[in-house]
Structure 1
Amino acid sequence: MKFLERLAQNAPLFTRSQQAIAAFMQNNVEAIAFSTLETLSRQIGVSTTTVIRFSRAIGYSGFSDMQAAVQNEIQQKSSLPERLDSIGHESSNQLLKDAFEMDHENIRLTLAAQKDADLKQAVDWVSNSDCVYILGMRSSFSLAYYMASRLGEIKKNVRFIQSTGMLYPEEIVGAESGDICIAYLFPRYSKTATNILRWLRSRGVKVILITSMNYTAVQSCGDVILPCAIRSVAYKNSLTAPICLTNYLVAEFARQNYEESKEVLSRTESVLSSGYYLGL
C-alpha cells in the first residue's frame, strides 16, 4: 500500500495531533523523503517520538522504514528531468556539503541494515559455487562491472552478464544448480534484469540481490537480500553505499578463501606482467 493510501485509510483513527501530522505530510511528501527525523519534527512542531509513533500507527516499523518507502515511491514516479529540478536552487558550496553528508548517511544506514546471517550466507554461497554470474543493467552496470573485475581477480569462473547487443540469453543458458548470481537492482527496476533473475532461480541458481532499502517490489527475485541506502542530491541514485558493500564482500571472500585467492591472483598478475601495461 502506498504512503498516501495509508494516510487515507487510517485517517478516521487519528488523534488530533496525528491529524496535524498527516495534514503536513500529505502536502509535504518530499520533506519526509529528504529530511532527517529531527528536521521533520521541527517543521511539523512535534517531538521526534511523536513522529516515530505516527509512522508505526500507519503500518511502518518506524521512521526510517516510512522514509525509505516514500523515497522509493518518489524514485519510481519522478522522471529524470523532474529529479534534476531538485538541485537547481542549491549553491555550489551547499551542494558539496549535502552530497558528502548524504553519502555518509547512506553508508551508515546501509551498515545498520545488514544482517550477519545474510552476509555470511552470501559469502559462503560464493565460496562454494561452481560459477558466479554478475548482473547489473543501466546505472547498475558499473557496479556489476566493478564486482566482476574485483572478484574475477581472486576466484575462477566469474562471468559478467554484459547483455551487450542483447546477447544475455546466450550468456546464461549454461547456468544450473550450484551456480550463484550476484545482482544489482535499484529503482527504476529493469524488467529485463528481473526476468533474467527469475529464470536463473528457476534453474536452481541462488541469487544474492543487492538492492534498495525498500525492496518489496523485487523481493521475489533474490534468495539473500542485501539492502543499501541510495539517496542522492543528484538526479540519479547514489552508488556509494553499494560500492562499500561490494568492497566488503570481495575482501571477506579473499579472507575466507586465502589460498584460492592467492593462486588466482598470481595467475592474474602473470598476465598483467607480460607486457599488459605500458613501460612494464
Structure 2
Amino acid sequence: MAFAASELGRKLLALQASGSASNRVIAEHLLRNPVRGSALSIEDLAAATGVSTATLSRFARLLGFSGFPDLRAALADTLQAVLRPVEKLRGSFNREDGRSPLREGLEDTLANLRGTAEAIEPEGLSRIVARLTSARCVYVMGFGLSAHLAGLLTLGLQPFCRQLVNVVEFGGTENAAGRLMALGPEDVLIAISFPRYATDVVHLTRYAADRKAAIVALTDSAASPLAPLADEVLIARCTHPVLSSSNVAALLVIEALVTALMVSNADNVAKAAQLTDAISSYLVSQTSRGR
C-alpha cells in the first residue's frame, strides 16, 4: 500500500518489526487501518488495540510526536498526500459543471508552461550555469517519475560538464546513497521532486547539504520540502486535474537550463561537434533514407 511507503509508514513498519509487544500491535493496526486511525480518538484506538491511552501517548512520542493528537494529524496529512491522485480521478467522474477533465488537463498544462516560462529568471539560470561549469562533479537525482526527468537532464548536461552522475540510474535508494559518498564542497547536486514528493530525495539532499555540496532544486513551489535545502531553486508548475502532478513544465525548465549551459561558453561549440562526430554513424541521414 502507498501509505506503508511514506515516511510515517516506514517508521510504523520499523516498530512493527522490532518494537515492544504493545508497540507492534499499535503499529500493525495503524498500517492496516490508516484511514480509521486518523479519525479515532485516543480512547477508541486504545480499545481497538487493547492497550492503554498512556501506552498510545508513549508510542506517539517514540515516533517523534509531542503526543497522540500530533500523530493522528500526521496520519491525516500523509493520507491526504497519498490519496490525492485517487480523489482527483474519482472527482473527474462526478463533475457537475460539464467540463471535460481532458480539456481541463490540457488547459492546465498550457497554463503551467506559460506561468513557468514567465517566472524563469535569466540571472538565476546564469548562477546555476556558473556552478555547473566550475563543479568537480554534477550529480542529478530524482526518484519515481522524477527519475525520468533526471535522466533527460543528465543526457542534456553530459557533454558540457566535467563529470556527471545520474544518482538513481539503477539499484534503488541504497545504491543511490552509495553514489553520493564521494560528494563534497566542490560538487553540485541537482535534486528533482514533485508531488507526491519522495522522502528518499529529501533525505539524500539533506545529506548532500550537510557535506557542503551546492544544491539546486527543481520542484513545483517554494513550499516544496526541497526548497529550504537548496542554494538555488528552479520552479516548474505542475497543476493537473487528474494526475498527481504534470511533468511538462519541468521539461521546459530542463531544456532552458541545458540551453543556458550550452550558450554560456564558446568552447561548447567544439564539445557539441565532438558529440555529433561520436554519434553521426548512428543517425539516419538523407542519403541512407533514400536507399
State the TM-score, normalized to the length of structure 1.
0.65
Task: Give the RMSD, CA atoms, in angstroms.
Answer: 2.9
**Is 2:236 the counterpart of 1:231?**
no
- 2:202 maps to 1:194: yes
Which residue of structure 2 aligns with residue 76 of structure 1?
A: 81
Note if 1:87 corresponds to 2:95: no
Contact preservation (8 Å) 2:138, 2:190: yes
When structure 1 is superposed on structure 2, of 160-169 and 80-89 the one drifting more is 80-89
Which residue pairs with 2:157 in the alignment?
151
**Deviation of residue 177 (structure 1)?**
1.4
- What is the SS of the residue equivalent to 1:209? strand
1:134 aligns with 2:137: no
Q: Does 1:271 align with 2:272?
A: no
1:23: which partner in 2?
A: none
Change (3 A) 1:80 1:178: same
Aligned to 1:161: 167
Residue 24 of structure 1 corresponds to which residue in structure 2? none
Report the CA distance between 1:73 and its aligned residue.
9.9
Residue aligned with 1:231, SS: coil
Question: Mean Cα displacement is larger for which, 155-164 or 121-130?
Answer: 155-164
Q: Report the secondary structure of 1:153's partner residue.
A: helix
Q: Distance in 2 between matches of 1:264 and 1:129?
A: 17
Report what 1:257 is aligned to.
265
Q: Deviations over 1:154-205 (max 9, x none)?
A: 3331211125223112211121212111111112221111111111112221
Secondary structure of the residue that 1:217 maps to in structure 2?
Answer: coil
- Structure 2, gaps ≥5 residues long: 1-76
1:31-87 deviation digits (Å, cap 9, x = unpaired): xxxxxxxxxxxxxxxxxxxxxxxxxxxxxxxxxxxxxxxxx9997363432232133
Aligned pair count reads: 208
In structure 1, what residue type is equivalent to 2:190? I
| Secondary structure in 2 matching 1:78 | helix
For residues 264 and 86 of structure 1, do their structure 2 counterparts lie closer, same or farther at Cα, with a shift above 3 Å needed?
A: farther
In structure 2, what is the Cα distance between the partners aligned to 1:192 and 1:96? 32
- Partners of 1:131 and 1:157 within 8 A in 2: yes
| Partners of 2:115 and 2:81 in 1: CA distance | 21
Q: Please state if 1:221 is matched with 2:226.
A: no
Distance 1:180 1:75 in 2: 33
Judge which range, 80-89 or 172-181, deviates more.
80-89
Match of 1:125 in 2: 131
Cα distance in 2 between the residues matched to 1:228 and 1:246: 10
* In structure 1, distance between residues paired with 2:104 and 2:122: 30
More deviation in 266-275 or 120-129? 266-275
CA distance in 1, matches of 2:198, 2:93: 28
Partners of 1:89 and 1:241 in 2: how far apart?
28
The aligned amino acid for 2:81 is Q
Alignment of 1:102 with 2:108, yes or no, is: yes
CA contact (8 A) 1:154 1:262 kept: no
What SS class does the counterpart of residue 178 from structure 1 fall into?
coil
Q: Deviating runs (4+, > 4 A) in structure 1?
A: 72-75, 89-93, 274-280
Could you tell me which amino acid in structure 2 is paired with residue 141 of structure 1? Answer: A
For the residues of structure 2 that align with 1:223 and 1:119, how far apart are their CA atoms?
12
- Counterparts in 2 of 1:168 and 1:275: CA distance versus 1, 3 Å: same
| TM-score, length of structure 2 as denominator length | 0.63
